Structure 1
Amino acid sequence: MVFLPDPKFGRLGHIPDNIPISEFMLNEEYGRLPHSQSRDPYTCGLTGKTYSSRQVADRVDHIARGLAKEFNWSPNKGTEWDKTIAVFTLNTIDSLPLFWAVHRLAGLVSPANAAYSAEELKHQLLDSNAKALFTCAPLLPVALDAAALAKFPEDRIYLLDIAEDGKQLPALEPLNWGPGKELAGLHSCAILKGVKIAHRNVIANVLQDAVYEKSYRDQLAKANGQPNYTEVALGLLPQSHIYGLVVICHAGAYRGDQTIVLPKFELKTFLAAIQNFKINTLFLVPPIIINMLRSRDVCSKYDLSSATSIFTGAAPLGAETAADFRKTYPNIIVRQAYGLTETSTLACATHPHDIMLGSSGCLIPGYEARLLSPEGQEITSYDTPGELVLRSPSVVLGYLNNEKATKETFEDGWMRTGDEAEVRVGPKGTEHIFIVDRIKELIKVKGLQVAPAELEAHLLTHDAVADCAVIAIPDDSAGEVPKAIVVKTGSAGTDDEASKAIIKYVQDHKARHKWLKGGVRFVDAIPKSPSGKILRRMLRDQEKELRRKASAKL
C-alpha cells in the first residue's frame, strides 16, 4: 500500500531540472518572493549585521567572480568535482552567499560539522577531494591541524567573511545547462554530506515545503491585510546539518522570511534574540525544548510573546514533552517534522491546521510512502509498525564512494529509511506519520519490542530527570532489557534515591516488558550529535566496557 499526501495540503507542480540552486534562489522567475517584498534573509543575532535580499544576490555574484579568478574556475568548464570546496564554520550570515557563489560556477559544497575534531575534518577533506577550505577565526586552529594531517595546502584555507574582492572583476559568463545538459540539475551534485545531493533535490524540497505552507500563510496574509505573509525565524541549528541548511536557510529565504543567525546555543543569548528581533518561528531540536522547560525561571525574564510556533526535528519529541511545552507556552503551537539527509530534509511535517502531538505530521506534497514488515511484506493497515520507505524528487543521488550502501538503500527512486513508523489517522481524518524508532535500536524483551524514544519521552517528565537515553543491555532470560542513562536534576537527591524513584515511575506507568530491568546509570551529559540525536552506539560501548571491567573483577 502506498500512502500519499492529502491533496488539501496542495499539489507539487513543475520542478526545474536545468538550473543550479543559486539561480532558483535568486531569480524571481522560479517563485521566490520578489526582493521588494522580502525581509532581509540573513541577520546576525549577535551584532545585528544584516544582508538584504538584493545584497545577497550582489554578494553571490561578487564572490563567484572572486572564486573564478582565484581558482581559475569557469561555469561551463570541468565538473562539480573539479570545483569542490569544504566549509568548516560556525553559523554565519556569510555561509549561504558563499554556497550559492560556488553553485553559480557549477561547483560543489561540502559542509563540515563545526564540532569536528581535526581528524574528522581531515577525513572529510580527503573524501570530498576539496580544492579549498573555508573556515572562521574561532575554528581556524582546528582547520590548520586538519590540513596538516591531510597534507592539504595552507594557502588553500580561507576565512569565510571574505571581502567582495570580485566586485571589480569582469562579469561571469552565463551558466549554460542547455543542449546536452538539460538535466544537469538532476544529475549534478550540489552539496556533499556523505550523500550526494543534487541541485534538483534541494529545489524540490524547498518547493514541497512552500506548497505545504501556502494555505496557512495565505490565511495569515489575508488576516493581516497583506498580499504575502513573511516572518522572522530562528537560525540557530547548524548550517552544516541538512535541517538547518535546507529548511531554515533555503526554504525561509525563498518565502521571503528573515533568519536570525546565531553561532551556537547559549540559553540567555537565544532568549535575548527572540526578544530583540521579535522572532516568530523557533526552529529547534528536542534538547533545546527540554532546556526551556527546565529553565522556566530564566525564560520568564524575557519577552517571548512574538513566538507563535516551534518547529522541531532531527530527533523525536515525545507527546508528553510537547504537551508540557504547550501548557507552559499556550500561545506557541508545537510542530514536529521528520526527514533525512537522504531526502534533502523534509518528508513529513505538522501542518498548523492539523496538529497531533507526538506525530511527525503528514506527508508533504510530492512524497509517496510505504511500510514494510521485517520480512519485506507491504503493510496495508493503520497503527501497524514497519520500516518507512519513501519516494520523492528530493531523494538524493546516493552515497559517496559506497556503492554497496547505495544499492541497499535506494531502488527505483525509493529510499529505505531504516526508521520504524506507523501511519495513524488523526483527529481531522488525515494520515499522520509516527516515527517509532530506529529499527536497529528497538529493544526486544522476550520477543516484545520496546522503543527507546517512548521511554525517554516518559522519563523526561520526571522531576529527577534533566536528560536521558535508553539502551538495550543483554539479559540471560529476556534476551535484552532496557537501561536508562540519566542526567539528574539538582533536586533529584542521592543516586540511590533517584534511581529507585525513576524505576518506580516507569513501573507505575508502563507495561512490564518496558520496565527498567537493566537499572539506571547517572552521567554528567548524554552524548549527542549537534542536531540533538542521541549517540546510542557510544552509550552501548560504554556499557559493554563497564560489563567487561565488572567481569574481570570476579
Structure 2
Amino acid sequence: MVFYPPSWVPSMPSPPDSISIPEFIFNEEHGRVPLSESRPFFTCGVTGQTVSPVELKERVDFLARGLAQELGWQVNQGSEWDKVVGVFSVNTLDTLPLAWATHLLGGLQTPANAAYSTAEVAFQMKDSGAKCIFTCLPLLKTTLEAAAKAGIPKNRVYILELPDAITGGAKAEGFTTVSDLVERGGKLPKLESLNWQKGDGAKKTAFLCYSSGTSGLPKGVMISHANVIANSLQIASFDNFYRKTIPFTEGKRYQENCLGLLPMSHIYSLVVICHVSPYRGDGVIVLPKFDMVQYLTSIQQFKIASLYLVPPIIIAMVKNKAALEKFDISSVKIIFTGAAPLGAETADELSKQYPSWLIRQGYGLTETATVVCSSSGHDIWFGSSGSIIPHVECKIIDPVSMEEITAYDSPGELWVKSPAVTLGYFKREEANKETYITDSQGRWMRTGDEAVVRIAPSGNEHIFITDRIKELIKVKGLQVAPAELEAHLLTHPAVADCCVIAVPDDRAGEVPKAYVVKSNSIGLEESERMTKREIARHVEREKSKHKWLAGGIEFIDEIPKSPSGKILRRLLRDKDRAERKKQGAKL
C-alpha cells in the first residue's frame, strides 16, 4: 500500500530539472519572491552584518569569476567532478554564496562537518577529489593538516571570514579570503552561462554530503541540483497552506527571520534553512555555534520567528526556563525540529511553557535531500513526524517478508519515492544496490528506519518513526555509524570483539556505548579502569567528539550474535536498559 500526502496538502507543478540551483534561487521566473521584496538572505547574528539580495547576487557572480581565474576553471569544460570545492568551516555568511558561485562554474561543493577530526576531513577531501578547501580561522590548523594528508597544496586553502568578535581580531596572514576573490572577480569579464540541456539539472551533482550510512566509512551522497530545487518547492508548497492563515501576518505576504544555527554542512540546514528560506523571501540569522546567551540575544535582537532546532537544544530550553525569561523572545512563533525524534513529553513541556508556539517536527535523510514528512502548523500531533509532503510517496515494508504493509499501526521499514531522492552514493555501487530500489512503482529509497502510519485526531495520516532498522546513533543530530567505531576499536590490542550501541543522554539525546570482549593478551593483573581509559583515548585520538564513547565502555564475555554472525544489538540495548533501571531503583 502506497501512502500519499493528505488531501489538504497543496498540489505543485513538477520541479524544473534543467536549471542550476543559483538560477532557481536568484531568477524570479521560477516562482521565488521578488528579490526587491525579500529580506536579506543571510545576516550575521553576532554583528548584524548583511547585504541585500541584489547585492548578494552580484557577490556570487563576482566570486564565481574570481574562482574561475584562481583555479583555472572554464564554465562549460569538464564535469562537476573536475571542480570539487571542499568546505570545512563553522557557519559563515559566505558558505552558501560560495556553493552557488561554484555551481555557476559547473562545479560542486562537498561540505564537511566542523566537528570532524583531521583524519575525517582528510578522508572526505580525498574521497571526493576536492581540488581546494575553504575553512575559517578557528579550524585552519586542522584544515592544513587534513589538506596535506589529502594532497591539497597549501595555496589551495582559502578562508571564509568570520567577525572579529569571534576570531578576536586575528587574521589568517598569507591566505586568500573569499572577499579577496570577490574583489578580483569584480574586475574580470562576465562568465559565460552554463550550457545545459534538458534534464541536466537532475543528472549533475551540486552537493556531495557525507552520510555515516550503516556500515564502514562515511559515504558521499550525490545530491543533484534538481533534488535541492524539488525539496525546496515541496517544503514551500506544504508550508504555504498554513502560512497564509497565520494571524500575525503583516501586509500581503508573510515573511520572517529564521534561525541559522544548525551546521550548514548538515542536509537539514543546507536545504530547509539555507535554500527554502531565501527562496520564499525570509531572512536567515546566521550563528557559528550554540551558545545559550548568544542564541537568546539573537532572537531578541532580530525578532526571529522560526527556530530550526534539534532535540538537545529544545531540552536545554526546557531545563533553562529562568534563562529564557531574561530575554524578550516574544517574536518566536514556530519551533521546527528534526535530525532526531523529539519526545512527546518534551514537546508537551515546552508547549506548556510557551502555549502560543507551534511546535512542529519533520523527518528526512541526506539520501532524500531532505524532508519526507512534516507536521503542519494546523495539524500538530506531538511525537509524530507529521504528514507526507507534496510529490512524495511512502510505503511500509515488512523487513522479513519484504511485502508491503497495508494496515495502520503496523511497523516496517519506511521506503520513500520523491523527486528529491538523491542520485546515490559516490563510488559505492554495492551500497546503491542495497539502498536505492527500482520496482514497477518507480525508484525508492530504503530509509532503514522503522515507521508506522497512524490516523491523527484530525483524521489525517501521520508518520511515526519508531526505531532504526539501520543502527545509526544520533548525537545532537549528528550521525554515528556503530560499524565505523567497531572497526576502529578492533584495531586496539586490548579489544578482541566489540559492539557499539546507542544509550540515552540528557544533553545529546543519544551517545555511543561500547561492549568490549577483552583480548587474551590483557592479563588479569591489568586494571580494568586503565584499560577502559586506553580504549576510550584510542577513539578520541582519531574520531570527532560526537563519536567518543560518552556512554561508557563495559567489558563482556561474549558479544551476542545470530547464527549468521549478525550482532544482536537489541539484546545489549535491553541489557543496558535493565542496568539503568536497576541503578535508578537503588537511587
Q: Please classify the TM superposition score into its range, dividing by the shorter chain length.
A: 0.7 to 0.9
Rounded Cα–Cα distance in structure 2 between residues aligned with 1:40 and 1:470: 37
What is aligned with 2:397? 372
The question of 1:157 aligning with 2:157 is answered: yes
Q: How far, CA to CA, are the matches of 1:224 and 1:389 in structure 2?
A: 37
> Which SS does the other structure have where 1:256 is aligned?
coil
Matched with 1:511 is: none
Paired position in structure 1 for 2:469:
439
CA contact (8 A) 2:116 2:544 kept: no
Counterpart contact for 2:396–2:413, Cα < 8 Å: yes
The CA deviation string for residues 381-406 of structure 1, in whole angstroms up to 9 with x for no partner, is 11111100000000000001110000
CA distance in 2, matches of 1:441, 1:76: 42
SS in 2 for 1:249: helix
Match of 2:62 in 1: 62
Q: Distance in 2 between matches of 1:470 and 1:91?
A: 24
3-state DSSP class of the match of 2:245? helix
CA distance in 1, matches of 2:94, 2:10: 33
Is 1:408 aligned with 2:424?
Answer: no
**Equivalent position of 2:102 in the other structure:** 102
Residue 467 of structure 1, CA deviation: 6.1
Contact map agreement 1:60 1:101 (CA 8 A) in 2:
yes
2: CA distance, partners of 1:25 / 1:403 = 32
Q: Does 2:18 match 1:18?
A: yes
Task: Identify which range, 39-48 or 12-21, moves more after superposition.
Answer: 12-21
Code of the aligned partner of 2:227 = N
Q: 1:195 to 1:34 in 2, by over 3 A?
A: same
Q: CA deviation at 1:43?
A: 0.2
The match for 2:414 is 388
- The answer to whether residue 103 in structure 2 is matched with residue 84 in structure 1 is no
What does residue range 97-136 of structure 1 map to in structure 2 within 5 Å?
97-136=97-136
Question: Which amino acid in the other structure matches residue 47 of structure 1?
Answer: T
Residue 48 (structure 2) aligns with:
48
Pair 1:218–1:538, CA change in 2 (3 A): same
The structure 2 residue matched to 1:172, chosen from 157, 175, 191, is 191
TM-score, length basis structure 1: 0.81
Please point out which of 282, 301, 304 is paired with 2:329: 304
State the distance in 2 between where 1:531 and 1:326 align: 34
Q: Which amino acid aligns with 1:51?
A: V
Q: Cα 1:377–1:75, aligned 2, differ >3 Å: closer, same or farther?
A: same
The equivalent residue for 1:479 is none
Letter of the 1:430 counterpart: N
Deviation at 1:305, TM superposition (A): 0.5
In the TM superposition, residue 41 of structure 1 has moved relative to its aligned partner by 1.0
* Matched-pair contact (CA < 8 Å) for 1:309–1:332: yes
In the alignment, what sits opposite 1:189? 205
In structure 1, distance between residues paired with 2:251 and 2:557: 63
Instruction: Give me the whole-angstrom Cα distance separating, in 1, the residues matched to 2:95 and 2:508.
Output: 32
> Counterpart in 2 of 1:488?
none
Aligned partner letter, 2:16: P
Correspondence for 2:284? 259
* 2:225 aligns with one of 199, 202, 220: 199
For the residue of structure 1 that corresponds to 2:404, the secondary structure is: coil
1:473 & 1:262 partners in 2: Cα distance? 34
Which residue identity lines up with residue 206 of structure 2 in the other structure? A
1:285–1:531 CA contact under 8 A, matched in 2 = no
- Contact 1:387/1:420, CA 8 A, preserved across alignment: yes
Percentage of matched positions with identical amino acids: 51
Amino acid at match of 1:182: K
Give, in whole Å, the separation in 1 of the partners of 2:555 and 2:157.
40
In the TM superposition, residue 435 of structure 1 has moved relative to its aligned partner by 0.4
Q: What is the Cα deviation at residue 69 of structure 1?
A: 0.9
Asked if the contact 1:86/1:134 (under 8 Å) is kept, the reply is yes
CA distance in 2, matches of 1:295, 1:370: 40
Aligned length: 473
| 1:278-289 correspondence runs (5 A) | 278-289=303-314
Cα distance change on mapping 1:368 and 1:68 into 2, 3 Å:
same
Equivalent residues in 2 for 1:136-147, closer than 5 Å? 136-147=136-147
One-letter amino acid of the structure 2 residue matched with residue 153 of structure 1: P
Following TM superposition, by how much is the alpha carbon of 1:298 offset from its aligned partner in structure 2, in angstroms?
A: 1.1
For 1:168, give the aligned amino acid. Answer: K
**2:8, 2:95 → 1: CA distance?**
36
Structure 1 residues 531, 333: CA separation in 2 closer, same or farther (over 3 Å shift)?
farther
Cα pair 1:83 1:131 within 8 Å, conserved:
yes
Match of 1:276, SS state, is helix
Moved more, 143-152 or 285-294: 143-152
Is the contact made by 2:395 and 2:405 (CA closer than 8 Å) also made in structure 1? yes
How does 1:422-461 map onto structure 2 within 5 Å?
A: 422-441=452-471
Tell me, in whole angstroms, the C-alpha distance in 2 between the residues paired with 1:144 and 1:224. Answer: 48
| Deviations 1:247-270, CA, capped at 9 Å, x for gaps | 000000001001000000011110
TM-superposed deviation, 1:545 = 4.2
Shift of 1:539: 6.3
Do the aligned partners of residues 327 and 185 (structure 1) sit closer, same or farther apart at CA in structure 2, a change above 3 Å counting? same
State the alpha-carbon separation in 2 of the partners of residues 311 and 172 from structure 1: 39
Distance (Å, rounded) in 2 between the aligned partners of 1:321 and 1:410: 34
For the residue of structure 2 that corresponds to 1:170, the secondary structure is: coil
Structure 2: give runs of 5+ residues left out of the alignment: 162-177, 210-219, 474-500, 516-535, 559-587
Q: Deviations over 1:135-169 (max 9, x none)?
A: 11111111011112223201111112412220110
Confirm or deny: 8 A CA contact 1:11 1:211 kept in the other structure. yes
Kindly tell me: are residues 441 and 327 of structure 1, through their superposed partners in 2, closer, same or farther at Cα, counting changes over 3 Å? same
Show the counterpart of 1:315. Answer: 340
Q: Which residue of 2 aligns with 1:499?
A: none
Does the 8 Å contact 1:43/1:260 carry over to 2? Answer: yes
8 Å CA contact 2:262, 2:308 repeated in 1 = yes
**Partners of 1:21 and 1:103 within 8 A in 2:** yes
- The one-letter code matched in structure 2 to 1:50 is T
Structure 1: gaps (5+ residues): 444-451, 475-522, 549-554
C-alpha separation in 1, matches of 2:159 and 2:248: 45
* Inter-partner Cα distance in structure 2 for 1:73 and 1:473: 47
How many angstroms apart in 1 are the aligned matches of 2:28 and 2:472? 47
